[in-house]
Structure 1
Amino acid sequence: MSEKNRDGKRTARERLAVEREKQKAAEKRRRTLIVGASVVCVLGLAAVIGVVAANVGKDKNKSSGPVVAPSGAQGKDGLAIAVGKDSAKPTLTIWEDFRCPACQAFETVYRPTLHALTDSGKLRIEYHLVRLIDGNLGGTGSLRAGNAAACAQNAGKFRDYHDVLYENQPKETVDTFANNAKLIDLSGKVGGLDTAAFRKCVNDGKHDSWVDKSNAAFKAGRFSGTPTVLLDGKNIFQDQTLTPAKLKQMVLAANKG
C-alpha cells in the first residue's frame, strides 16, 4: 500500500472519529435538554438569579392578615384544594406555582389524563399553591394568581380557572399575574366566574396569607422545587421515564390494590 493511500485511510478514520464525537456531543446535549425541560423551576433559577433573589426584600414578598382558607380546603391546616371524588383510592398531591414554566409544561402534557382519571372517580388530586418564582425573581404574580385560584375555588370553579391560568401563563420574568385586573379578565374565560364576589375576593387579597402558609409548608417539606408530584406520598415526577400512560397505569393499579 502506498504512503498516499495509507495517509488517505488515516485521514478518513480521523474524520469518522471526529464525526462520531460530534454525534455523541449532540446526543448528550439533546438528552440534557429533554431532562432540563422537566427540571423543577427553583433549581433552574437558583444558579442564574441568586444575586437577584438575595436582594429581594422578604417583607415585600410576605403578605399580612388572617389566614383564610378557601371553601372546601382540605388536608393538614386546610392547605389543599381537592379535585375529584373523595372515594378515589389513590391521591395525587401537586405542589405548583402559576408562574413556573415547568408547572405549565407538566399541566400541558398530563392534563387530559388527570381530567379523565378524576372525572371517572379513579383519582383524587390535592393542589397546593406556592410562590417560589416571587421569591426568586421578585414580584407578586405567584401570590396574586394563587389567591385568585383560591377565590375561584370559593365559586366552585377552581379546576377550570386553574387551567386557564396555565394556558395564559406569561414568561416567568414578566410579572403579568401581579395585575389583579388581568386575573379578573381571565376569569371571563370560565363561565359564571366573573362575579362581584370573585372580583372583591381577588382585589382584597382574601387568601394571600393562606397562599403564604402553603408556601411555608412547601419549604418545611424540603421539596426540591415545583412541580412536586406525589402519588400516595411517593415522589413520581423524579422518574424520568414517567409518561401520562405510565401515570394512568399506576393509578389504575392503585385502584385494584
Structure 2
Amino acid sequence: MSQPRSRTPLVLGIIGGVACLGLVLVLVIGGVAGFLILREGSDPGAGAATEEGPTEGTGGSTGSGEVVAPPGAAADQPYVELSTSDDGPVVDVYLDFLCPHCQTFEATQGPDLQEMAEAGEITLRMHPRPMLDATSSPAGYSGRAANAALCAAAEDPANWYPASAALFAQQPGSAGLPDEELIGIVGEATSVDISDCQAEGTYLPWLEQVVEPEAQQAVPGTPAVLIDGEQFSGDLTSSGSVRKAVEAA
C-alpha cells in the first residue's frame, strides 16, 4: 500500500505564491505613488502662492521675485531720481496711486514740482509706494500702477510726469484696474508700449522690498513731502505751497 503524500509542499507553495504576489503589489503601488509625487512636484501649477507672489485673478502681474531697480537707481535705493540740482534742495515725494489725497496732491503740486525739476531748481526723488495694495480687490493695485509709471520712466524719466498725471486722473475705486487698462492709460499718455514690462511686473519686488519698507520708517502716510530731509508741514492741498517752501529752503 502506498503512503499518503504529504500536503506540506503544496501549502508551502501556496504561501510562497501569495507572498510573491503581495510583494509585486507593494512594488506596483509604490511605483505609482512615486510617479504621482514626482509629477505633482514638477507641475508649475501645483500649489498656491509662492515667494514670487500670488497669482492675480484679473490679469495682474506678479513680479519675478528678483529686485530690479529702475534705470539709474541702485538696487537698494528707495526712490527714482527724476532731476538733479547742484545747489537746489532735495525734494522727496511719497505717494500711492490709489490714495485719494495723492490725487489732489498731483493736481495742486504736480505741475510746480515738474516745472522746478525741469528747470534744475530741485533734486526730485519720487517714492511710489504700494502702501494700499491690501485695500484693493483684488489686492495689489497700488504696486501695479506704480510699476506701470516706472515702466514708462525707464524709457525716459520725463515720462513719469504724464504717466503719473494720467494714472491719477483715472484713479479707480477699490476694485482697481486690470493691467490691460493700465497699459492703455500709460501708453496713451506717453506713447510708450509698456506691455512686456507690465506683464512681467518688473519693478514690483523693488517697490515691495525696497521702497515700502523705507517709506514706513520715513513718513506716516501719503502724500508726504520732505525738503532736505525735513517733512513739509504746510497745506498740501493749497496750490503753490510746496513751491514756496522750496524757495524758502
TM range, smaller chain: 0.5 to 0.7
One-letter code of the match for 2:179?
N
In structure 2, relative to structure 1, the CA distance for the partners of 1:60 and 1:239 (3 Å cut) is: farther
Match of 1:107 in 2: 106
Match of 1:96 in 2: 95
- 1:216 corresponds to which of 213, 222, 232: 213
Distance in 2 between the 1:101 and 1:241 partners? 13
Residue 154 of structure 1 deviates from its aligned partner by: 1.1
Q: How does 1:94-243 map to 2 (within 5 A)?
A: 94-138=93-137, 139-156=139-156, 157-171=159-173, 173-176=174-177, 179-194=178-193, 198-213=194-209, 214-221=211-218, 223-236=219-232, 238-240=233-235, 243=238
- Give SS of 2:91's match: strand
Residue 107 of structure 1 deviates from its aligned partner by: 0.8
In structure 2, relative to structure 1, the CA distance for the partners of 1:64 and 1:215 (3 Å cut) is: farther
In structure 2, relative to structure 1, the CA distance for the partners of 1:64 and 1:202 (3 Å cut) is: closer
Distance in 2 between the 1:161 and 1:147 partners? 11
TM-score, normalised on structure 2?
0.67
Distance in 2 between the 1:241 and 1:73 partners? 27
Distance in 2 between the 1:234 and 1:131 partners? 22
Match of 1:253 in 2: 248
Note if contact 2:90-2:122 (Cα within 8 Å) is conserved in structure 1: yes
Distance in 2 between the 1:225 and 1:60 partners? 25
Residue 240 of structure 1 deviates from its aligned partner by: 3.9
Match of 1:35 in 2: none
In structure 2, relative to structure 1, the CA distance for the partners of 1:251 and 1:135 (3 Å cut) is: same
Note if contact 2:104-2:237 (Cα within 8 Å) is conserved in structure 1: no
- Larger fraction in helix: 1
Q: Which runs of 5+ in 2 are unaligned?
A: 1-50, 56-61
Tell me the matched-pair count.
188
Matched residues, percent identical? 27
Q: Which runs of 5+ in 1 are unaligned?
A: 1-57
- Larger Rg over CA atoms: 2
- Give SS of 2:73's match: coil
Note if contact 1:69-1:207 (Cα within 8 Å) is conserved in structure 2: yes
Distance in 2 between the 1:191 and 1:225 partners? 28
Distance in 2 between the 1:241 and 1:227 partners? 8
- Give SS of 1:108's match: helix
